[in-house]
A and B are shown apart, each in its own frame.
Chain A
Amino acid sequence: MSATLAVTLSLWVIAAVLALFAWRKGPEVAAEAARHGVLDFLYLIPRLAIGVIGSGFLAALLPQDVVRSWLGPDSGLTGLLLATLAGALTPGGPVIGFAIGATALKSGAGYLAVMTYVTAWALFAFQRLIVWELPVMPTRVVWLRVAASLPLPILTAWGVMLLTGRG
């Protein structure tokens, strides 16, 4: 069984168990929750259609060799800040940040710069923010999260430096 199928199945099992609990609180509770969930889903669809089907085109817009050149061997603060910016500008999707990080490592980028880049991409990729996060979370919380997370990519590099002795 493929990993993605296993994920889908486990999600539906969780949803079914929760539905059962809701049903025990009353059929109308379950029906209302189901209606709410389906409405959320319908609301997300146009955003996902644009963001997910368009992610390949967004990737084309991103000059990957420029991004890689930002992830130079320099692990000074400037290099790490550039890596953070590069991560935020890389579109979402499950793999593109990891793929760029991997090729950058092979072409001589600093280990710490790639750590910073991958972390920043995971935290801030603007497309994921717009397509996935803002539609279903309170706007204020999303921006508080971003603000509170700003130091994390640099902190990661610092932690890796302490842990592995790489500089």
Chain B
Amino acid sequence: MSASDPPPQKPRSLIDGSTLFVLALVIAGAVIVFRREGIPGLTHILAEDSWLFLDILPKVLAGCLIGAFVAAVLPREFVSRWIGAGSGLTGLVIATAVGAIMPGGPFTIYPLAGALLAIGAGVGPAVAFVTSWTLIGLNRAIIWEAPFLGVDFVTTRMIVSLPLPILAGLGAHWLARIVPGGPR
């Protein structure tokens, strides 16, 4: 594939089966809330989560733009050299480090991982990146986890989790070679 090829696009429709599945669950949950707490229960949850939705929108837009600009700015050779399918342990370590310090949440991590895959990142490093944000992302641990579970719990969990993104990346890299359906 030459560097001028456009990144492969996912087939897109406005609403797909899995979104409808979540929608069905949401409606079932809403019925339960209504029968338990009536209209006030419904509006309370709706108001709270609508606020959360509005609050994340600017971050989601920023995350999507970051993904798109990274894809436009980083040369494909650079990406595939450092975090490509052949980058080995170095690629996994780089991806893990970036995932751990990357600010934001799902709104930055997934679009960025998707963009990097489209411009030459390997499956292994992409998985290490996502897993690193999930398990040892500082932002997430400090803002969300520590208030609930305490610093002791979080520190212990993170120390133990340090090698896990690399393990997941290695596993995905090997699986990608034996599971048909893609080159990386």
Q: Is the interface of A mostly helix, strand, loop or mixed?
A: helix
Encode contact with B along A112-146: 1 for CB under 8 Å, 0 otherwise. 00110011001100011011111111111100110
Contact B23 A19 (CB under 8 A): no
Q: Which residues of A contact B64 (CB under 8 A)?
A: 37-38, 40-41, 44
Q: Which of B57, B68, B168 is within 8 Å of A40, CB to CB?
A: B68
Contact A61 B28 (CB under 8 A): yes
Query: Which chain B residue shows the least CB distance to A92?
Result: B106
Q: Which residues of A contact B149 (CB under 8 A)?
A: 98, 101-102, 105, 114, 118
Contact A156 B157 (CB under 8 A): yes
Q: Which of B30, B62, B117 is within 8 Å of A12, CB to CB?
A: B62
Contact B46 A7 (CB under 8 A): no
Min C-beta distance of B132 to chain A, whole Å:
11
Q: Which of B53, B62, B142, B167 is within 8 Å of A49, CB to CB?
A: B53
- A108 within 8 Å of B by Cβ? no
Q: Which of B23, B139, B170 is within 8 Å of A54, CB to CB?
A: B23
Q: Which of A3, A19, A50, A52 is within 8 Å of B143, CB to CB?
A: A3
Contact A98 B58 (CB under 8 A): no
Q: Which candidate, A67-75, A76-84, A158-166, is the interface stretch facing chain B?
A: A158-166
B-side residues, CB < 8 A to A, are 8, 10, 12, 14-15, 18-19, 21-23, 25-30, 32-33, 36, 45-46, 48-50, 52-53, 55-73, 103-108, 110-111, 113-114, 117, 123, 126-127, 130-131, 134-135, 139-140, 142-145, 148-149, 153, 156-157, 159-161, 164, 167-172, 175-176, 179, 181-182
A-side residues, CB < 8 A to B, are 3-4, 7-8, 10-12, 14-15, 18-19, 21-22, 25, 29-30, 32-34, 36-38, 40-41, 43-61, 92-95, 98-99, 101-102, 105, 114-115, 118-119, 122-123, 127-128, 130-141, 144-145, 147-149, 152, 155-156, 159-160, 163-164
Going nearest first, the 8 A-B pairs with the smallest beta carbon separation are A54-B26, A148-B171, A57-B29, A37-B68, A18-B69, A159-B160, A56-B45, A33-B72
Q: Can you give 24 A-B contacts (C-beta < 8 A)?
A: A7-B59, A7-B143, A11-B103, A12-B62, A18-B69, A19-B69, A37-B61, A37-B67, A40-B64, A46-B14, A54-B26, A57-B29, A114-B149, A118-B149, A123-B131, A127-B22, A134-B18, A136-B110, A136-B111, A140-B182, A145-B127, A147-B172, A159-B161, A163-B160
